[in-house]
Amino acid sequence: MSDPSPLILFLILVITLLSGFPVAFTIGGVSLYLGYLTFGLDFFNLLPLRIWGIMSNYVLIAVPLFVYMGVMLERSGLAEDLLQTMGLLFRGLRGGLAVSVVIVGALLAASTGIVGATVVTMGLLSLPTMIKWGYNPAFATGTIAASGTLGQIIPPSIILVLLGSVLNVSVGDLFMGAVIPGFLLVVSYLLWIFIFSHLNPSSAPTLPEGLSEVRGWALVRDMAKALVPPLFLILAVLGSIFLGVASPTEAAAVGALGATILTALHRRLSLGILREVMRETTHLTCMVFTILVGATAFSLVFRGMDGDLYLRDLVIEGDMGANLFLFIVMAVIFLAGFFIDFIEIIFIIVPIVEPVLKGMGVDPLWVGVLIALNLQTSFLTPPFGFALFYLKGTAPPGVRTSHIYRGIIPFVIIQIIVLLIVSLFPETVTWLPAHMGG
């Protein structure tokens, strides 16, 4: 058996992360200190080469561009227009407001890919309305939180961009591979809403007929105004990738420009808005890349200690097959998602297990989508799901934490079922990339 010191290194990192220090600096600080203790000053000769590899990674340029696109769209009023129009379209349907929240969540996910912004926006805009018209608070909050996290799996997802870099998989293939699982999630959410609404009509009522005077062609016009901009942006970004016209990085630039144009068309583009968006984009991008540099240092120390060999020996001596090892990895990622952000998980855990999974012949494309689905589930799971905290921060005073925890349980079950389906049927991930020439 190999030296267990890599495992000790990993445990030290986990303990320091849970101690409350800023994550971006904790990973780098622990790695630099232990790297110096283990390898001496030679460690600092190797690290710049690894960091240069990050700086010259063309794919990672897509991260700030997609972040910019998402933050700019948040300022454009797109979500507000979509929610109002969809609410009117489904007003005669039992649970119609919940249906509109899921559809808008899917469209925003395919337009922005930023979970926090989507959950907060929909919480502010739709939750008070749903409570006002008699929706059960648990059902309403569960629907909003689950719909807001669709940006984790529906492309263009920042998670998939980062996973593509770590797993050495084409980001375009990951985007295509995530389409069917994302569609399954949306359909499953809608199915649960229909079932709940018919079993509990008083908890998910139809809206009064006289609520709005918008009818006929006026409604069609409002729908076109609300739907055409996001659909145009989705087509410009994802269509250019899937058709092979542009790389993900080039498509991200198209998306950033498109989001700016949409904000201008909504007459909300100003120097102040542009300054806010650029400041927020810079903040988020710096956080991501600071964590990435620290995680790179950690990976260098871990592999320098023969950590990948330790894991390989652990798998061989434990007589683990690929499926059992993958199950353990998924369980660790799921539990880690309770305590640390998805960025740290992608940059710390995934690079450690990737060589072992690759040696076992596991398809990295399939693994990447499974991890994204898994991280989305951990975003929703009580008591530490980040999406639940986002929603509680924007909820009206009458909505309690217990409402949010109860309401999310059916959607977590749906997530787990879809995760199992994708686990048992890898074709749900690999079919579309294969047939689109990925």
The whole-number pLDDT of residue 112 equals 63
Q: Smallest Cα–Cα separation from 147: which of 317, 327, 380, 349? A: 380
CA dist., res. 381 & res. 123, Å (int): 18
Residue 325: is its pLDDT beyond 60? Answer: yes
| pLDDT computed for residue 149 by the predictor | 86
What's the pLDDT tens digit per position in 216-247?
666 677 677 777 777 788 788 888 887 778 88
In total, the chain counts a number of residues equal to 438
What pLDDT was estimated at residue 123? 79
What is the model's pLDDT at position 143? 92
pLDDT of residue 1: 46
Task: Look at 207 and 63; give whichever has higher pLDDT.
Answer: 63
Q: What is the per-residue pLDDT for 438? A: 47
Rounded-to-5 percentages of helix, strand, coil across the chain: 80, 0, 20
Q: What is the arithmetic mean of pLDDT over 113-138?
A: 77
DSSP classification of residue 396 = -
Residue with the bigger pLDDT between 291 and 160: it is: 160
In one-letter notation, the amino acid at residue 124 is: L
Instruction: Name the band, by pLDDT with cuts 50, 70 and 90, for residue 275.
Output: very high
Q: Domain residue spans in the chain?
A: 5-435
Mean pLDDT of 173-196: 93
Name which residue leads in pLDDT, 32 or 207. 32
Asked if residue 311 has pLDDT above 60, the reply is yes
Measured in whole angstroms, how far is the alpha carbon of residue 78 from the centre of its chain? 20
Which pLDDT tens digit goes with each residue over 139-162?
Answer: 999 999 898 888 888 888 888 888
Q: pLDDT averaged over the chain? A: 80
Whether 88 has a pLDDT exceeding 90, the answer reads: no
Dihedrals φ, ψ of 3, to 5°?
-60, 130
Alpha helices (runs of H) in 214-336, residue ranges in sequence order? 216-234, 240-242, 248-265, 271-304, 307-317, 322-336
- Collapsing DSSP to helix, strand or coil, 318 comes out as coil
Most confident of 41-55, 161-175, 340-354: 161-175
